[in-house]
Amino acid sequence: MTTTRIVTCLVFFASFTAYAVGGDNTHTQGVSFAGRGFDDSKPEHIPPPVPAFRIKVWPPSGPYETDVTVGEKLLVTATCPASLHATPYDSRFALCSGTVRLIKANGESSAQTPACDSPDASKKSVPLLAIRGSWSNNQLRMDDEQVTFACAPTFPAAAQIKTLSDFWQRGEQLGSYRRRHGLPETHGRREIFTGGGTQGTYIGTTVTAIMTVVDTSNINTSLNLGVLAKCFFWGYARPGDQQLSTYQACVRAARADYCGSGKSMTQPGTTIQLYDAPDGLVNPPPRISQAVGTCQPSYVPFHMCFEALWNERRALCVSHARYKQMPPEDCDKAALFPNAFDDEGKPVKPEDAVIRCSSADYNAIKKQARLKNRSGINNLVGVPQSCENDIPCP
């Protein structure tokens, strides 16, 4: 039987730029689906609808308008390169740029429309990821006549990322560096942060390592990006996965949507590791950085352990809540998690349980999972704590 043990960890606080490491599967997740300006999702709340726009051509190009609240509309004027190379990703995703404008009920534009990382995206274009379909009723619906726009990461000019094909040519699916493309190896400081509070708490730690394509973007440093873009650029929109099931599993895991209700039980900017589930429905080899060579990165000042297995609908097996104050309390524990244990590993009534996942549970259900993740024990009012359990990594 698995019991997650909590180990206190002391860390040094500082305010630095944060980098995450695509090569060893360590990222900072989010709460919002599409990002600032598109949906205002908050932890522990059922999320508002994610705006979807009607389209006639792909990739989209032009002004698109949709209702967002009673009487208010959102206007996105997007430009997406039409010269995308033929790849499996192009039929569902496109890299765009565009302005975002909120139109009030009286027909007037808002003085400013904060969106993505811009304080006013109505006047200056922001990078966008176009997703062919809609996030409706808490799942991705394939629809060739609709598009969902999400805030996309920015890349340095030297990376020359102008289309999604450029991105995939310059990095493997989780950001592994491809030297043969002639991009320089950039070494530098790595900082990570956790999402306690509204702006996140920066935890100062330094390591020198090769910076990947994902690392040099703002995907893991910006609190204004949503998980729809994060999960794409982390590499979970797999070719041949027609229903994008692994991509949807990533959206669940990144938002800590344990119960599949859409309610996020985490904070923006929280550090997690995300892997393909061993022996699961999708099982390529885990992408662990050669420089690190271990599941526990040296630059993370607390020890992470197994948190949960995920499919496209919900968590399948949960070892510990990502945040002590936000357990998966809305789940039907008796139906979804029949094996529930207290902090000492003793069986208890489902309504009194802190969700636990035994090794037997894990081994029995892992073949139904698409992804698994690791995390520390995060705290809304303090620093992350280390944890240990006997579920293997990755």
pLDDT at 21: 38
pLDDT at 24: 64
> Around Cβ 376, how many Cβ atoms within 10 Å?
26
pTM: 0.81
**CB neighbour burial string for 293-318, b if at least 16 within 10 angstroms, e if fewer:** eebbbebbbbbbbbbbbbbbebbbbb
What is the pLDDT confidence band of residue 345, given thresholds at 50, 70 and 90? very low
Q: pLDDT tens-digit profile of 204-257?
A: 333 333 456 666 788 888 889 999 999 998 888 877 788 899 999 999 999 999
Specify which of 153-162, 190-199, 200-209 reaches the highest per-range mean pLDDT: 153-162
Contact 112, 119 (CB under 8 A): yes
Measured between alpha carbons, how far is 34 from 229 in angstroms, rounded to an integer?
7
pLDDT at 224: 93
Beta strands 53-54; 26-28: pairing state: unpaired
**Lowest mean pLDDT across 13-17, 48-52, 354-358:** 13-17
Q: Report the chain's mean pLDDT, rounded to a whole number.
A: 75
Write down the residue that tokens 């007037």 correspond to.
Answer: 108
Contact 129, 155 (CB under 8 A): no
Q: pLDDT tens-digit profile of 100-159?
A: 999 988 878 888 999 999 999 999 999 999 999 999 888 899 999 999 999 999 988 877
Apex 314 CA angle, 311 and 319, nearest 5: 95
Measured between alpha carbons, how far is 88 from 97 in angstroms, rounded to an integer?
21
Beta strands 126-132; 93-103: pairing state: antiparallel
Q: pLDDT tens-digit profile of 1-19?
A: 455 544 333 222 222 122 2
pLDDT at 335: 55
